[in-house]
Structure 1
């Protein structure tokens, strides 16, 4: 929230029970968004760090996210925060 009460960033964190990794839970991070006029100020990094800390506090052993293959800036951002490329994502839309 900025000085005028406007929301400048958000994300969605889902904690999912797991079958793999000896039944450990995982955090699924989605829809990380920061208002255009607030980007490059560290807000996204703070949001992601909060989500990782929260997932760990809820017993998750990993946090994963998806980003579109064309979003190379976002990929660099997540890699800078310690995320590694590990999956090939697929989508079925209705």
Structure 2
């Protein structure tokens, strides 16, 4: 399974629950999470996607900490099951 496959699955599953999973790029800020997930009700999540078993690099971890320090939720997902768990979690919190 490739990271790209998980990213596509996340995008499609978020769309099913009426949300958006925008590709997040921030010029001059390397290491930001891959997707900005916005759900109904103003819920926002930054999601770093990885191939199974892979972990964030130190620069990515630093960016994740900066974002989290501002009160935003940052997640790392490395499997289709992880996407399913994220979707279940956010659907419970409606």
Higher relative contact order (CA 8 A, sep 6+): 2
Q: TM-score, normalised by structure 2?
A: 0.33
Q: TM-score, normalised by structure 1?
A: 0.33
